[in-house]
Amino acid sequence: MIANPTRFTLALLAGAALLTACGQQAPSAADTSPTSAPPENVTIKIDIPASLAPFGDGYPKAGDPCRRLGESAATANWLDDGAVLVGCPTAESAAAVGGTVVAKVEGVRVISIPMGDANQGMATPAATGDALVAGTDYNATASIKCSFDGSMPSGSCPVGVKRNWGEAGSHLVEVSKPDGRKRAIFFKGTTPTGADSAQSDGSAAWKFAFERRGDEVLIRFGPERYVIVDALLTGG
């Protein structure tokens, strides 16, 4: 006989509650912590991929986020003699240069800009007082020493120079190669800064280097060698 049925019943209920609590797992820190929200106003930098054969220090002027695009398997469908092909990493930078977005490759907007619009914001020969060679869009033409097999330059290649190209103090030298193609070499003052490249001739993987020799520079770009004198750039 149970002396106090009520006290016995309460003890049984307390024991059952204790067993139930022991069978439950306490919530983990991960369960109780608030869900992490992605940070706001974070700018993700998108580089212009090598597959688009980018060249130059920026477009339309050095330091800008967009860059000119050269010939490659990825750009072949949009190359046009009457337009400039440009790659821009963001919608804002694309809107700033105008033109028509023809594709988006690896996050980069590929833009075709008609030549009539491509000079907007750029210095021109007329603005700098530098005349053009008759029948050309060059400020000067000449022949330079060149080679294409890694040897010291001994041959001759015709070149054209566009002074103050893009901005004052930046110059473009276009070399006409024996195969009919052109190689663009970029300068800041009299210092070479790079060359255009393409997947089609393998130059996208070439290294660019130069060596100053008095009043001229020897440029090494893959197996190509060019000797360019300062006077060709400065007009002196």
pLDDT at 123: 40
**30: alpha, beta or left? (left if phi > 0; alpha if psi -120 to 50):** alpha
pTM assigned to the model: 0.51
Looking at per-residue confidence, does 68 or 24 come out higher? 68
What are φ and ψ of residue 18, in 5° steps? -65, -40
Sequence-distant (6+) residues with CB within 8 A of 139 are 125, 130, 131, 132, 133, 161, 162, 163, 235
Separation between Cα atoms, residue 209 and residue 12, nearest integer Å: 88
pLDDT at 5: 56
Looking at per-residue confidence, does 148 or 167 come out higher? 148
**pLDDT of 226 over the 50 cut:** yes
173 CB neighbour count, 10 Å cutoff: 26
Residues comprising the chain, all counted: 236
Q: pLDDT band at residue 199, thresholds of 50, 70 and 90?
A: confident
Structure tokens at 116: 């009539």
- Sign of torsion, CA 174 176 179 181? positive
DSSP the chain: --S-HHHHHHHHHHHHHHHHHHTSPPPPHHHHSPPPPPPSSPPPP-PPPGGG-EEEEEESSTT-SEEEE---TTTGGG--TTEEEEEESSHHHHHHH-SEEEEEETTEEEEEEEHHHHTTTS--HHHHT-PPPTTSS-SEEEEEEEESSSSPP-EEEEEEEETT-SSTTEEEEEEEPTTS-EEEEEEETTEEEEE---TTTTGGG--EEEEEETTEEEEEETTEEEEEEHHHHH--
**pLDDT of 77 over the 60 cut:** yes
Separation between Cα atoms, residue 155 and residue 174, nearest integer Å: 16
Window from 10-24, 103-117, 218-232 with minimum mean pLDDT: 10-24
Window from 24-28, 89-93, 157-161 with minimum mean pLDDT: 24-28
Give the percent of the chain with pLDDT over 70: 72
Give tens-digit pLDDT for 202-217. Answer: 888 999 999 999 999 9
Tokens 């688009």: give the residue: 52
Q: pLDDT band at residue 27, thresholds of 50, 70 and 90?
A: very low
Separation between Cα atoms, residue 213 and residue 98, nearest integer Å: 41
Computed over every residue of the chain, the mean pLDDT equals 78
Question: For 39, how many CA atoms within 13 A lie in the half-sphere containing its CB?
Answer: 4
Give tens-digit pLDDT for 100-130. Answer: 888 899 999 999 887 644 444 444 443 445 7
pLDDT at 115: 65
Q: What torsion do the CA atoms of 147, 153, 159, 161 make, to the nearest 10 degrees? A: 120
